[in-house]
Amino acid sequence: MATYSQDPGAPDAAYLDFWRERHLCTLTTPRPDGSPHVVPVGVTYDPGAGLARVITNRTSAKVLNVLAAGDGGARVAVCQVDGRRWATLEGLAVVRTDPERVAEAVRRYAERYRRTPGPNPSRVVIEIELTRAMGLA
């Protein structure tokens, strides 16, 4: 059986390059009833910090799902696919409202997606402390 495991803090070059390309991703969060909530998002991957980041509105369902999991955060996954190439990052998500953290997430989003989001006073960042990475890039 093939292994697709990566070190989330030190992935191989092809895997990291794939996460630097512009791709739409999905974020899967658990609803309070335990069922999965899957939505399209933009994701940035920062292996040095051990984080993936998703910017969003504070009233979005994904934010409410993460908050409903409690102070410890929610187990989530982000994924991207392009033909036969795919990559998944898993970890513990928390919602951050600190302006510096949100600004850093916006900066990284603009770098990856080549588009700076407009001002949004309701913007927050879902930070995912990574515990697992896998894929075929």
Q: What is the pTM of this model?
A: 0.96
Strand extents, DSSP E, the chain: 5-6, 25-30, 36-41, 44-46, 51-57, 74-82, 85-96, 123-136
Q: Encoding tokens for residue 18?
A: 């794939």
Q: How far apart are the first and last CA of the chain?
A: 17
Q: What angle do CA 73, 77, 81 make, to 5 degrees?
A: 160
What's the pLDDT tens digit per position in 53-97?
999 999 999 999 999 999 999 999 999 999 999 999 999 999 999
